[in-house]
Amino acid sequence: MYIVKKKIGKGEYYYLRKSQRVKGKVKSKSVAYLGKDLKEAEKKAREIESKVDRKVSTDEAKDLIIQKKKKESMGEKTSDEFETGETKEFLSFVREGGLIWGPEPEIYGGMAGFYTYGPLGKLLKNKVENSVRRVFNTFGFRELEGPTVMPDNVWEASGHLKTFKDRIIKCKNCESVFRADKLIEEKFDVAADAFSDKKLLDFIKEKDIKCPSCKGGFEMKIEAQSLMMKTEVAGEEASLRPETATVTYLPYLNFYNYFRKKLPFGVFQIGKAYRNEISPRQSVLRGREFTQAEGQIFVDPEEKNNWEGFEEIKKENLPFWDHKAQEKDYERKEFSVEDALKKGLIKSQAYGWCIYLAYMHFINFGIPKEKIRLRQHHPDEKAFYADDAWDVEIQLNNYGWTEVCGVHDRTDYDLTQHGKASGEKLEAQRENGESFVPHVLEIAFGTDRPTYALIDLFYEKKGEEEGKTVFAIPYHMAPIDVSVFPLMKKPELVKLAKDVQLELERDFIVVYDGSGSIGRRYLRSATAGTPFAVTVDYDSLEGNDVTIRDRDSEKQVRVKVRDLRDVLDKLIKGEVLVDDIGKEVDTRKK
């Protein structure tokens, strides 16, 4: 194999090529694109040659090359190819910390948009999903689990087969393909999804936006690509669900009966969904396989402004950013849900309650208030069936303002469409016997983006002179609740530490660590985000007590083993602080 340099326009690009004999003639073919920097190209070439030599047969190598070419033609890049500056350090922390790995399968070169959550990442994602369940259940929702594959007549009725598409644009030089609105939104704080095709092209031209792959220009035309992932079931055309909402509406008659035919009622699903994302990147923020968490409330349209829960939340101030403020480049503004209704920014009490509920999900995750805003959809951005539409956005350190949730008043569109296509009456009855099609209010988000946001916002990289690097995630969302250490590897200390571990595991996620110096173990614990470290020392043998070390303040206090579970529970919930527990231990004696 050998490296060649090609000039395309004003740029220089490196490719890995190899010669092979075909029908008696020696022919040369490209194996992989190596980038624009010669040193990096040489490094990548060595890695590819090593993979081919050690891990794959000739036929497998051909398949790998075909996959790589296909990905390049679609503008796909692995996370490594987009790493720069602090982002590279952050992504290194994400991988090495066992949070997120991929794109998978890494050993075959990776397919963009598919990731593995490592041990720490899965624990964190579990915390996010458990928080979702807790909030939804508190507000009266009940959880469902529906199928992930449906026949295409379902998706035809919902409109997905014809309309669930993204607008794409192609690079003139390398022919990479990108989602046009995201090219703009990744660089500018505008809602490009609301742009017409012409406005997209004009904006890209005016701002001189270049291809992320080769820095070339774009063909000035917009095309559409379906996001549906197709399959076949027993010879019947089918598709993987692109969200959980549709499969939530289909059993409407069953849960209408379950809820004793009384509206309103709410249901939610947490589960996998799939979209043929145009150019997935930014880790799990834009994947092809992701976990949705969507709540649906079925309401009588005549009762939207007679909403029982509105009185409890109407005075709550939320960070609204309406579409007129966006057009004038004004900042978000905090005012009450009640005022938003009076100003006409939201159309009903029930919808205002849904916006508050969506906002509270992210507050309960531990996202700082100043990092959250509620962005109203532009009139030409809303789906044609939506009466009201707002997004929850979070300001990430790596990617700026990012949509993490959508709140929609879907009116009676979904139940009407599926009623017509199925021949079933998906209706409810008022007390006077009048039949009607319920309206659906939707809180739609996934658990991948909040999980990523927690990593992004609470990772603290510090220089040597500033102290250790930590994952300062809110205590209640930490993947691991508590670490347990014996001060030294002495049998009597290890036995008591193991007993403490066993007791705590009844209520908490616990890691036992007896390897290395106590200082290194504290550092490992803090880097994993673990809020408290319990240490068994020689005083513990006599006093039957232990020290609790706080991750953020690094203060230590002594607590009786019999009180440990209760104390840790209160500390993790934020009901008490370490300073409230007892006198600080002088660790210099240890």
* Residue 91, domain member (yes or no): no
What DSSP designation does 529 have?
A: T
CA pair distance 106, 203, nearest whole angstrom:
36
Q: What is the pLDDT of residues 512-540, one digit of tens each?
A: 999 999 999 999 999 999 999 999 999 99
CA pair distance 534, 548, nearest whole angstrom:
5
Instruction: For residue 134, give Cα distances in angstroms to 89, 127, 129, 239.
Output: 34, 10, 9, 31
Pair 243, 348 in one domain: yes
Question: Averaged over 363-386, what is the pLDDT?
Answer: 93
* Residue 107, domain member (yes or no): no
Q: At 53, which helix (H) or strand (E)?
A: helix 38-55
| Predicted local distance difference test score (pLDDT) of residue 79 | 39
Pair 36, 136 in one domain: no
* Residue 461, domain member (yes or no): no
| Predicted local distance difference test score (pLDDT) of residue 10 | 61
Q: At 449, which helix (H) or strand (E)?
A: helix 448-458
* Residue 505, domain member (yes or no): yes
| Predicted local distance difference test score (pLDDT) of residue 39 | 73
CA pair distance 58, 24, nearest whole angstrom:
18
Phi, psi for residue 459 in degrees, rounded to 5: -80, 125
Q: What is the pLDDT of residues 210-231, one digit of tens each?
A: 998 889 999 999 999 899 999 9
* Residue 105, domain member (yes or no): no
Q: What is the pLDDT of residues 459-517, one digit of tens each?
A: 987 665 556 678 999 999 999 999 999 999 999 999 999 999 999 999 999 999 999 99
Pair 392, 444 in one domain: yes
Helix (H, G, I), strand (E, B) or coil at 237: strand
What is the four-CA torsion angle of 466, 526, 536, 570, rounded to 10 degrees?
110
Cβ count within 10 A of residue 65? 19
Helix (H, G, I), strand (E, B) or coil at 548: strand
Pair 329, 370 in one domain: yes
Pair 268, 311 in one domain: yes
Pair 433, 568 in one domain: no
What DSSP designation does 447 have?
A: S
* Residue 55, domain member (yes or no): yes
Pair 260, 208 in one domain: no
* 275-302 per-residue burial string, b: 16 or more CB within 10 A, e: under 16: bbbbbbbbbbbbbbbbbbbbbbbbbbbe
Pair 492, 507 in one domain: yes
Q: What is the pLDDT of residues 302-314, one digit of tens each?
A: 999 999 999 999 9
Q: How confident is the model at residue 380 (pLDDT cuts 50, 70, 90)?
A: confident
Pair 402, 356 in one domain: yes
The answer on pLDDT for 544 being more than 50 is yes
What's the 3-state SS for 172-207?
Answer: CCCCCEEEHHHHHHCCCCCCHHHCCHHHHHHHHHHC
What CATH number is given to the structural domain containing 393? Answer: 3.30.930.10
CA pair distance 337, 313, nearest whole angstrom:
7
Cα 9 to chain centroid, rounded? 38
Q: Using the structure block, give the residue that is written with the tokens 């805003």.
A: 373
End position of a domain, from candidates 409, 432, 455? 455
The answer on pLDDT for 2 being more than 70 is no
Pair 480, 495 in one domain: yes
Pair 131, 209 in one domain: no
End position of a domain, from candidates 455, 478, 495? 455
**What residue numbers bound the domain in which 486 lies?**
470-589
Worst-scoring range by mean pLDDT, 7-16, 384-393, 409-418, 479-488? 7-16
Q: Tokens for 339? A: 């005022």
Question: Averaged over 382-395, what is the pLDDT?
Answer: 92
Phi, psi for residue 265 in degrees, rounded to 5: -145, 155
Instruction: For residue 319, give Cα distances in angstroms to 118, 334, 372.
Output: 34, 4, 7
* Residue 496, domain member (yes or no): yes
CA pair distance 415, 590, nearest whole angstrom:
67
Worst-scoring range by mean pLDDT, 11-25, 43-57, 131-145, 161-175? 43-57
What CATH number is given to the structural domain containing 553? Answer: 3.40.50.800
End position of a domain, from candidates 420, 455, 490? 455
| Predicted local distance difference test score (pLDDT) of residue 16 | 80
Q: At 298, which helix (H) or strand (E)?
A: strand 289-299
* Residue 114, domain member (yes or no): no
- Total domains in the chain come to 4
The strand pairing partners of 144, in sequence order, are 269
Pair 160, 173 in one domain: no
| Predicted local distance difference test score (pLDDT) of residue 503 | 97
CA pair distance 357, 294, nearest whole angstrom:
12
The Cβ-side half-sphere exposure at 215, using a 13 Å CA radius, reads 10
